[in-house]
A and B are shown apart, each in its own frame.
Chain A
Amino acid sequence: MNHLPFVAASYAIGILLPASFAITAWMRMARASGQLAAIDPRRQRGAPSARGAKP
């Protein structure tokens, strides 16, 4: 019996599953950070591009 397909499937799971968690976590963090930067008054005050926009 050739065991290599079982080994390959295990490594595929061992790489793809943590990678999918990592990518979704990263995307979620980036999206939340972007939204917060857009609506948070303290961040807008601190951001150079927003300086001077308000009197």
Chain B
Amino acid sequence: MTGSSTSQVLLVLPVGIPWVLAAVLALLDGRRRWVGLLAAAGLGASFVSLVWLAFVVLREGPIATVAGGWPENVGISLRADALGVVFALVCIGIILVSLLYELPLGVRWRAFPALVLLVAAGLTGLFLTGDTFNFYVFFEISMTASFVLTGYREEDYQVRGAFVFAVVNLLGSVLFLIGIAALYSITGSLDMRVIAERTDVLEPSSVIAIAALIFAAFCLKLGLFPFHFWLPAVYVGSHAPVAAILSGALANIGSYGLLRFGGGILPRELEFGSTAVLVLGTASIIYGALHAISRRDTSEVMAYSAIGQVGYVLLALGVGGPTGYAAAVLYSVVNSLNKGVVFLTAGLRGPLVGGAFAVGAFSIAGVPPAVGFVGKIAVFKAAIAEDSLPVSLALVALIFLGGALSFLYSFQVYQRRFMKPGSEGKPSPRATRLLMVALAALVILLGLWPEALIYLSEAAADVLVEGAG
């Protein structure tokens, strides 16, 4: 499991760079141009080291290291496998784009770059840790930074949104913490692999309650149907890059947590509760899509669409197995990209913006040249792989229905936002618009050449299946 010393340093870099830089930048005035550029450079360095790490992990298998040279199970351990690296890459990518988006528009808060870096540090730490309690700590780092970020631009509306967001998510964190303590109590360990081994031989009845608690905690983060009530209020009030960070990067904590804890640590309990997971996913898809159709405001539509889109991740998770897990990973990645494009372009004006938004909307609806199609196909495959025929048929029908509904609301919102005559204001800076065009081009490119994404998601699913077997 342990690689050479270079790869161990490589493992610390993606977490360490943004963390240290955030601490330094917190003392500086983030409204200055060079501070923002420094933050972007640091995030870029973290992203590059993650790409390198991904190559090493995919070629040589998982890497583990213990910080400070402590013996294993004593110090803070970091462990990178394909699943964590894929999620970390996507999240850091979206955060980097959001930060670059904000720089030409002008940063309004002195703490903005530092907070964005802290979110990034917490997220990478969470995806690259092998210890459940460290998972909680990193998760709180990124959540607390995002509570503050939600209030960006200091309008009252956003402070209330931030308060609701903070309270609801803290409740989720507490539930998760209680779940970890309970797991520790019955297994005597905090290490994910050890917990997975020991829960396997325990009575299912003692583990199922803990599994339900952890499931509820992650669904709250993800904003899934019965836990969604906080989500629209927060996304509607947020500034475009903040909404993109929340929806494109932070929401992935939920999908990653469900995959890691459900698929990797407690697979037996996940299988046991698969009916409930499928029902919740279905409810989420239909509820989110119907609400999205009935709303007018762009960010409100996209907030409800986010509720619907995570339903697909849950469906794939409920089906389970290599196909289901791969589909869940792929769909989370695709959904992050889509939400990044849509939320960011919705805040801009001027030429080319409408085109980029249309690409994002196409992708959400799952229309072929865009990457959303690849995601939909993967969930579709997972639905066909489901064992019982009636369930499989119902899922296929649901995916078609969900696709049709998302097509409807995507274009409704496109019409309202970009085809309304006389709504032209001052166009946004060219650099920001070109950035969005590049992101939209990436969405199409990955749709035309999906092999890399499919390979990554299958490698990530293999990690879970091997851990379970």
Asked if A pairs with B, the answer is no
Which residues from chain B sit less than 8 Å from chain A, CB to CB? none
Using a CB–CB cutoff of 8 Å, the interface residues on chain A facing chain B are none
